[in-house]
Amino acid sequence: MTDLLPTRYRYADLATDRRWIDAYWQSGYVIIEAVFNADEISRMQLRFDRWYAEGMRHPSTFRHQNKIIWIEEDAQVGKIVRGMQWPSYEDDVLDAVRTDARMLAILEPLIGGDIKQIINQLHWKTPGARVTWGMHRDVRSRKPAEAFRELATSYVQTGLAVDRHWAGNGAMKILPRSHRLGCDAMNDFAPKDPAATAEKDWQDAGVDMSQLIDVVMPAGSVALWTPFTIHGGGINTTTDNARRLYINGYVKASNCDRGEWTFREGKPVALDQANQALVQFDEITTKTHAFYPGRDDHTAKVGD
């Protein structure tokens, strides 16, 4: 086997130490520390807290076009917000992060300067709650498949640590080099139990999980991984340490029929809340009102 390159770098070194680019393709992930500073992280934490509070005002999962806030009942701690998508239509702090020049500096060497975004997502692992995203490959969510061409080399997922992440507070796990493993039969795998880390399912499918790593990150770091990298899991077993992760998923624009434009020729593109792009919600142009998925009253007005 060729020598393995380091998978951990500092943002300030990226321009001179270009090994991170080959490391990403070689290992299916890299971790870049010190991308955002402490003041920026404090501002993001406040916005995460604001969205969490907004979520808690709803009786159940709430959708308004691309924006969705996932509410769950946890056996230990009761009602929680698990995550949300597309805060950036309404949140200037989070919006600025997804089009930040540092994000472009990380993305451009991997997928060029014409970029769309198909994920803009916040994850909370509330202390004591059994919240996890069982081990999986993101390819399972890139549907319909024909809308996502050359997925392996066109799509980069980024996860920004809005708190320090470590095993105790539920840091995500990654299986290095798992993007090249094959095991394609598991590409659509999602555990039936949303509280399962699902490591055993992959073992049962013949994947050696002994090299699994915790994606340990100081706040302000950004982890990158590919759509075929096996990742997920992690449970926050602390009683008082939040674990907030800001995920932005980017794609080479020419290879994707969905998503919001993010950079055109390396220049940021603003979102237009009134004209949202087709991303994952297929009824984006026909169901323009807010509603509670799974409830009878799909026209329920909320927030007033």
Ligand X SMILES: O=C(O)CCC(=O)C(=O)O
Alpha-carbon dihedral 107, 143, 232, 42, rounded to 10 degrees? 50
Here the tokens at position 43 are 């501002």
Contact between 247 and ligand X per CB under 6 A: yes
Residue 171 or residue 181: which is nearer to ligand X going by CB? 171
- β partners of residue 137: none
Task: Find the shortest distance in angstroms from Cβ 55 to ligand X.
Answer: 16
> Which residues fall within 8 angstroms of residue 71, CB to CB, at 6 or more apart?
55, 56, 58, 59, 60, 61, 62, 79, 80, 81, 82
Contact between 191 and ligand X per CB under 6 A: no
CA dist 161 and 244 (Å) reads 7
Here the tokens at position 179 are 């993007």
Here the tokens at position 4 are 């393995």
Residue 140 or residue 289: which is nearer to ligand X going by CB? 140
Contact between 199 and ligand X per CB under 6 A: no
Residue 114 or residue 279: which is nearer to ligand X going by CB? 279
Here the tokens at position 283 are 């009824």
How many residues bind ligand X (CB under 6 A)? The answer is: 9
* Window 76 to 105, contacts with ligand X (CB under 6 A): none
Residue 13 or residue 74: which is nearer to ligand X going by CB? 74
CA dist 104 and 120 (Å) reads 15
Contact between 202 and ligand X per CB under 6 A: no
Handedness of CA 87, 261, 227, 211 (dihedral sign): negative
Contact between 250 and ligand X per CB under 6 A: no
String marking each residue 132-171 x if it binds ligand X according to CB under 6 A: -x----x---------------------------------
String marking each residue 216-245 x if it binds ligand X according to CB under 6 A: ---------------xx-x----------x
Alpha-carbon dihedral 73, 74, 76, 78, rounded to 10 degrees? -30
Residues in the chain: 304
Task: Find the shortest distance in angstroms from Cβ 138 to ligand X.
Answer: 5
Which residues here bind ligand X, judged by CB under 6 A?
123, 133, 138, 172, 231-232, 234, 245, 247
